[in-house]
């Protein structure tokens, strides 16, 4: 019996504004807009059959107006029986209120550094970030994760990145290697090899000992490294990292992962990493819901 | 990079592959440690 494929995860870009200027940012689009995503697009998403909405950018907490709209969106998703998460740079975590936390399933905070090195890359105030995270955690919201993108400029700082566990016991600290992407900005960092990454991670006792610390590699990393999944697992075994490895070695599209942008473009995971390909995405206005667009992209990918 | 695509939400996306000895899809064995429930 053939089972109907399920749309699992919609990754949503709700705006094109950010209050930071990170040297590795891939989400650098071709024009600046202060707009929040249109209700027309959000309604199409809400009419879709999916499991989880991950709000991934550009920065959902960029100002009070967008935070209010974020709260409204997250509440609607929860009311319709689905779950949500958001990725934030954490600079405006002070805007997070009880209503948002009551409706949000988890928060991912991008760090890329710890107490000693955070400000070098993100130019944010680490002490303020720390206080705001602790305030949220102490209010009872424990589902907070940390993200580290690893590249040429921070591979030496793994201990510092794991030491953020002193702030709160993050549920996950996820390390992901930086990928070269096609975007409209400038990236002032370089990618490292997967061997360099594994060597750096395995050299850190803190990383090896922290049960929350994991490394996520996906098919796009394997493609850029020209490496097979078997080769990657062997490399992980060599550095005693197999238990830390989360490997998605296939394109994520057939597993029900798709992106919607604030301009209403619907993109495959591969396209979503490359803003210069966003214009080639499908337009949501031509579909009744995201499921239809996902199936169309799947059909096109197969042919 | 899945971390950039979806953050830790990606941990709940299982990767499946066709096993040679079984003509059906199985959860990818390398996808360790995902305990976070959406």
Show residues of chain A in contact with B7, CB under 8 Å.
54, 56, 85-87, 108, 145, 147, 174
Mean pLDDT of the A222-238 span: 93
Residues in CB range of A238: below 8 A, 6 or more apart: A198
Convert the pLDDT of each residue in B2-29 to its tens digit.
Answer: 567 899 999 888 765 544 444 444 444 4
Least confident interval from A38-42, A102-106, A130-134, B34-38: B34-38
The whole-angstrom distance between A288's CA and the closest CA on chain B is: 24
Question: Could you tell me the pLDDT band of residue B36, with boundaries at 50, 70 and 90?
Answer: very low
d(CA A107, CA A112): 16
Convert the pLDDT of each residue in A134-178 to its tens digit.
Answer: 999 999 999 999 999 999 999 999 999 999 999 999 999 999 999
Residue A12 pLDDT greater than 70, yes or no: yes
Contact check, Cβ <8 Å, B14/A255: yes
CA distance to A51, A250, A284, A294, B26, per residue, from A291 (Å): 12, 20, 10, 5, 24
**Burial (CB count within 10 angstroms: exposed 0-12, middle 13-18, buried 19+), residue A87:** buried
d(CA A246, CA B29): 10
Whether A219 and A246 have beta carbons less than 8 Å apart is answered as no
**Burial (CB count within 10 angstroms: exposed 0-12, middle 13-18, buried 19+), residue B20:** exposed
Q: For residue A54, give the chain B residue with the closest CA.
A: B6
B contact residues 2-31, partner A, Cβ 8 Å cutoff: 2-17, 28, 30-31
Convert the pLDDT of each residue in A133-142 to its tens digit.
Answer: 999 999 999 9
Q: What is the sign, positive or negative, of the torsion defined by CA atoms of A36, B38, A113, A64?
A: positive
Contact check, Cβ <8 Å, A248/B5: no
**Burial (CB count within 10 angstroms: exposed 0-12, middle 13-18, buried 19+), residue A283:** exposed
Percentages helix, strand, coil for chain A (3-state, rounded to 5) are 40, 20, 40
The model's pTM: 0.92
d(CA A121, CA A1): 51
Question: Could you tell me the pLDDT band of residue A34, with boundaries at 50, 70 and 90?
Answer: confident
Question: Could you tell me the pLDDT band of residue B34, with boundaries at 50, 70 and 90?
Answer: very low
Question: What pLDDT was estimated at residue B2?
Answer: 52
Q: Which of B13, B29, B34 to mutate to test the interface with A (most CBs of A within 10 A)?
A: B13
Which tokens sit at A49?
């059959």
The proportion of chain A whose per-residue pLDDT surpasses 70, expressed as a percent, equals: 98
Residue A267 pLDDT greater than 90, yes or no: yes
Contact check, Cβ <8 Å, B36/A106: yes
Whether A200 and A244 have beta carbons less than 8 Å apart is answered as no
d(CA A63, CA A108): 18
Q: What is the ipTM of this complex?
A: 0.92
Residue A123 pLDDT greater than 80, yes or no: no
């Amino acid at each position: 019996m053939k089972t109907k494929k399920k749309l699992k995860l919609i990754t949503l870009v709700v705006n094109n504004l950010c209050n930071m200027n990170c040297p590795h940012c891939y989400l650098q689009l071709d024009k600046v807009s202060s707009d929040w995503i249109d209700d027309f697009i959000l309604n199409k998403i809400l009419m879709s059959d999916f499991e989880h909405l991950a709000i991934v950018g550009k920065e959902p907490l960029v100002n009070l107006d967008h935070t209010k709209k974020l709260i409204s969106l997250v509440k609607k998703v929860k009311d319709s029986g689905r779950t949500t998460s958001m990725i934030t740079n954490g600079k405006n975590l002070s805007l997070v209120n009880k209503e948002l936390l009551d409706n949000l399933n988890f928060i991912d905070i991008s760090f890329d550094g710890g107490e000693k090195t955070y400000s070098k890359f993100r130019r944010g105030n680490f002490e303020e970030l720390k206080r705001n995270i602790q305030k949220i955690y102490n209010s009872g919201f424990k589902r907070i994760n940390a993200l580290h993108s690893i590249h040429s400029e921070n591979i030496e700082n793994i201990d510092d990145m794991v030491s953020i566990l002193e702030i709160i016991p993050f549920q996950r600290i996820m390390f992901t290697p930086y990928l070269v992407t096609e975007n409209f900005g400038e990236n002032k960092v370089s990618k490292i090899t997967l061997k360099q990454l594994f060597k750096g991670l395995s050299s850190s006792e803190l990383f090896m000992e922290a049960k929350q610390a994991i490394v996520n590699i996906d098919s796009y990393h394997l493609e850029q490294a020209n490496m097979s999944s078997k080769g990657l697992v062997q490399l992980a075994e060599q550095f005693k990292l197999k238990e830390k490895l989360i490997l998605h070695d296939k394109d994520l599209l057939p597993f029900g992962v798709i992106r919607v942008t604030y301009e209403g473009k619907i993109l495959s995971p591969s396209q979503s990493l490359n803003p210069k390909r966003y214009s080639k995405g499908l337009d949501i206005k031509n579909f009744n819901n995201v499921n239809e667009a996902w199936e169309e992209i799947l059909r096109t990918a197969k042919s | 990079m899945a971390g950039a695509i979806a953050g830790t939400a990606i941990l709940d996306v299982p990767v499946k592959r066709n096993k040679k000895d079984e003509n059906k899809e199985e959860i990818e064995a390398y996808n360790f440690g995902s305990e976070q429930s959406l």
